[in-house]
Amino acid sequence: MATERAGYYTAHPEELLLDDELPGAGSGGETLAEYTERWLAERERKGSCSLRQDRSRLATHVLPVLGPKAIRGIVTPDLEAFVQRLDEHVQAGAMSWYTARHAWGLTSKLFDDAAHGKNLGLRLATALSRKLD
């Protein structure tokens, strides 16, 4: 389903950019977890070779913290708290700095694509992108 939605919105980006609420999303709009499925489907379509690791990193480190939030409502303090959580895990010895770096890099790329991505079907008007523009 995520692959079909990514393909549809790639072909019809004007519909995604005008809709405040995406198909299948709850009343708060598309969650980060839902958006992530579309984003990963697009990375798979493009032939990303790190897809298995990306899915694992997202499922283990990102989605438990940010996944239920509406992606359009995630703001800088949410991401700063996420980074602080990663740092705390590293300092406690529960996570390596290398893993934390990859988790943050993947999260950063996801939000960059959501705000400024080349694929208009994945681009959203998030709180972060509105602040950056």
Which domains occur in the chain, in start order? 2-132 (1.10.150)
Percent of the chain with pLDDT over 70: 72
Residue 19: the pLDDT is 38
CA–CA separation, 114 and 126 (whole Å): 7
Query: Quick one: average pLDDT of 1-15?
Result: 58
pLDDT score of 22 more than 50: no
pLDDT score of 61 more than 60: yes
CA–CA separation, 40 and 23 (whole Å): 18
CA–CA separation, 32 and 17 (whole Å): 16
The secondary structure element, H or E, covering residue 6 is helix 2-11
Tens digits of residue pLDDT in 80-124: 999 999 999 999 999 999 999 999 999 999 999 999 888 888 888
For tokens 């509105």, name the residue: 130
CA atoms within 13 A on the CB side of 33: 14
